[in-house]
Amino acid sequence: MAPMTRCRADDRHAPTNINALYYAQRAGAGMIITEGTAPDCMGQGYLRMPGIYTPEQVAGWRAVTAAVHEQGAAIFQQLMHVGRVSHPYFLDGRAPVAPSAIAVTDGQVHTAAGPQSFVTPRALQTDEVAEVIATYGRATRLAADAEFDGVELHATSGYLPARFLLPTINQRTQRFWPLTWIRSGLSWFVGL
């Protein structure tokens, strides 16, 4: 089953019993990829978007994986950092991050206070890029702790990893300039 955004986590971005029921009901697919899940708090960008960076979130996901495994299916965690598609509303007032300080120009972000205009993100410093990459490693380890069968890195649809590949959004001139990346597929699976 392909990932589909459900946004049914609690207000601390932890999966609940409704998430476990939802995924268990779809176990007949044989293999499930979860909805996009933030690898850290700066990756949040939707109401009730789940995360996998706190013990409470890991416990919630462990209930989900147990329910799916009980039905005989495999389940992969999709890791998704929304980057500049976020809003300070989701980030405790902080600006979203991106390769360069270039705002999204189309659409709006939906918050509990209603639609909001996108803001200009803060360009990540070079050393911060390594820190963001490390959050994916930590999230992968936490996915293993939650007994996922693997992870998928969501690197399309305008989210943070994909923005590093586009020279119109990534105007860096050093190490993380777009042409230094290998452009071979934008979605990778890793078995745990």
CA distance 53 to 56: 9
What is the set of active-site residues?
159
Q: List the beta strands (DSSP E) in the chain.
A: 31-37, 74-79, 97-98, 108-111, 114-117, 122-123, 150-154, 187-191
The predicted pLDDT at position 55 comes to 98
CA distance 165 to 119: 21
- The mean per-residue pLDDT over the stretch 171-192 comes to 53
Three-state secondary-structure class, residue 28: helix
Whether pLDDT at 167 is above 80:
no
- The mean per-residue pLDDT over the stretch 32-49 comes to 97
- Enter the pTM of the model: 0.89
CA distance 83 to 160: 4
Return the closest-CA partner of residue 166 out of 101, 111, 99, 72: 99
Inter-residue contact 98 to 125 (CB < 8 Å): no
pLDDT single digits (tens) 135-165:
999 999 999 999 999 999 998 878 888 887 7
- The mean per-residue pLDDT over the stretch 40-60 comes to 97
Return the closest-CA partner of residue 3 out of 160, 155, 183, 192: 155
Return the closest-CA partner of residue 192 out of 133, 131, 146, 134: 146
Domains in the chain, start-ordered, CATH in brackets?
A: 17-191 (3.20.20.70)
173: Cα within 13 Å, side-chain hemisphere = 0
- The mean per-residue pLDDT over the stretch 27-34 comes to 96
The mean of the pLDDT values for the chain is: 89
**CB contact set of 130 (below 8 Å; sequence gap of 6+):** none
